[in-house]
A = this chain, B = another copy of it.
Amino acid sequence: MLILVTNDDGVYSPGLRALADAMATLGDAVIVAPDRNRSAVGHALTLEQPLRAEEIEPGIFAVDGTPTDCVNLGIHGLMMQRPDLVVSGINSGSNMGDDITYSGTVSAALEASLMGIPAIAVSLNAKIFSEADLLTTTRFIIVLAQQVVKKGLPADTFLNVNVPSGPCHGVKVTRQGKRRYGQAVIVNEDPRGRKYYWIGGSSVGFEDIPGTDCCAVSRGFISVTPLHTNLTSDSFCETLKNWPVLCDGGVL
């Protein structure tokens, strides 16, 4: 089995190496990851300029691009054959609720899913990882990855895993929750008196909705949220068809 391992914290992140070591127990693990921290780049793709990939150790490639770039380069340029699985992480800090739309970690898994390859994004709800937390995470991901490869995932569907820090009480299948954010933009002046803006908006909590990722992780459970790459709101399609401007394909 061939596994592509990537992340958005960069190729030197300890979470990435721990994940690759875990995957190496299942097959051949190749790392293709950004050469530096590229958190919050979302599903950005580098189209306007070339990319470089340096093999810094055997089977470990550092790319001067985004996590989405890494998945592209790994699969279409660097790896000898198409991987059976793509795993992204272990991210430093959780990726839950709306955060997943900004997350490079999650977007890398999304990219693999768009290519028809089963994918898992993994995040740990801690900035610095304890050995115990890492062990919980890697043990779980090994078992989950085995099941994903054995059973497959539906088309355009991938898994987003978040692991709590500290005692772990089990696993929950969850929905994407909703976070609450603090002051969104800080306005200040630079040393030359020119105004600048800094996007703040750190999470100050979450909406405590049972069944969501935020809720599960806050109670000490690993959350597994199946995500899909098709964003269509089917439920609203029918309503929209009754809007006057959209009725029955009417000519403008």
Near B by CB (< 8 A), chain A positions 25-69 give 37, 39-53, 68-69
Given contacts A231-B100, A232-B226, contact A52 B185 (CB under 8 A): no
Whether B42 lies near A185 (C-beta < 8 A) is: no
The 0/1 profile, CB within 8 Å of B marked 1, for residues 143-179 of chain A is 1100100010110010100000000111111011000
In the complex, whether A132 has a CB less than 8 A from a CB of chain B is no
Whether B232 lies near A175 (C-beta < 8 A) is: yes
Which of A15-23, A122-130, A238-246 makes up part of the contact surface? A238-246
In the complex, whether A203 has a CB less than 8 A from a CB of chain B is no
Partner of A170, one of B227, B228, B251: B251
Partner of A169, one of B42, B227, B251: B251
Partner of A250, one of B170, B185, B224: B170
In the complex, whether A136 has a CB less than 8 A from a CB of chain B is yes
Name which residue of chain B comes closest to A159, CB basis: B240
CA distance A250 to B143 in the complex (A): 13
Q: How many copies does the complex hold?
A: 2
Whether B50 lies near A40 (C-beta < 8 A) is: no
In the complex, whether A208 has a CB less than 8 A from a CB of chain B is no
Collect the chain B residues with CB atoms within 8 Å of residue A53's CB: 195, 197
In the complex, whether A80 has a CB less than 8 A from a CB of chain B is no
Show the binding face of A for B, using Cβ within 8 Å.
37, 39-53, 68-69, 72-73, 75-77, 98, 100-102, 107, 110, 114, 136, 139-140, 143-144, 147, 151, 153-154, 157, 159, 168-173, 175-176, 184-185, 187-188, 190, 194-199, 201, 221-222, 224-237, 240-241, 243-246, 249-252
Q: Sorted from nearest, which 9 A-B pairs have the closest CB atoms?
A: A42-B43, A42-B42, A76-B185, A50-B196, A76-B184, A228-B233, A226-B236, A227-B231, A170-B249
Q: Could you list 25 examples of A-B contacts with CB < 8 Å?
A: A39-B47, A40-B44, A41-B44, A42-B42, A42-B45, A42-B68, A45-B102, A45-B199, A49-B198, A51-B197, A52-B195, A72-B185, A77-B187, A98-B114, A154-B233, A154-B235, A157-B236, A159-B240, A170-B249, A170-B252, A171-B250, A175-B232, A175-B234, A226-B240, A228-B236
